[in-house]
Amino acid sequence: AVHATERAILINLAKIGQGLVKDAQALGAELEVSMLEIIRSICEVAMDPSHKTEEDTAVALKDAVRDMRPLLDDAFVAYLKYAIGEEQGRLAREGVLDDPEHNRWLFVLQIVQEGVYAELSQGVKRYVDHIWYVLRMKSKTERKE
């Protein structure tokens, strides 16, 4: 009787665990869709035919990424790192990592990552500038203000 009860409990736990795994997979897929949407938005700006020069495109991209800054959180940065790693692994397994015909998506991800890092570094630089400004003040009263 004890064995049957333990078995029933373990079967129930396994079913609950399977349900949780399915829920986590669904949430992961949903999160990936939202991350890909951010990347797509950045790519749309880059491919906009109304930009006549590379400089116009660069300015538009910088502005767009700055406007998207609230979306460029830790989860997005982690997703980019994950997606680049997955794509590099896939291409390496297929033996086409260095083949321009096959690695375009990898290049897109890497370019987006560089742009996101550049934008995020501006925010860090502003914080560092403020900290240095405060540290250069001579008195505690000045620093408190």
- Show pLDDT as tens, one digit a residue, over the chain (145 residues): 789 999 999 999 999 999 999 999 999 999 999 999 999 999 999 999 998 999 999 899 889 988 998 999 999 999 999 999 999 999 999 999 989 899 999 999 999 999 899 888 887 777 787 777 777 777 777 666 6
What DSSP element (H or E) covers 144?
A: helix 140-144
The whole-number pLDDT of residue 108 equals 93
The whole-number pLDDT of residue 130 equals 74
The whole-number pLDDT of residue 125 equals 74
**Residue 60 phi, psi (nearest 5):** -65, -40
Q: One-letter amino acid identity for 50?
A: S
Specify the pTM. Answer: 0.71
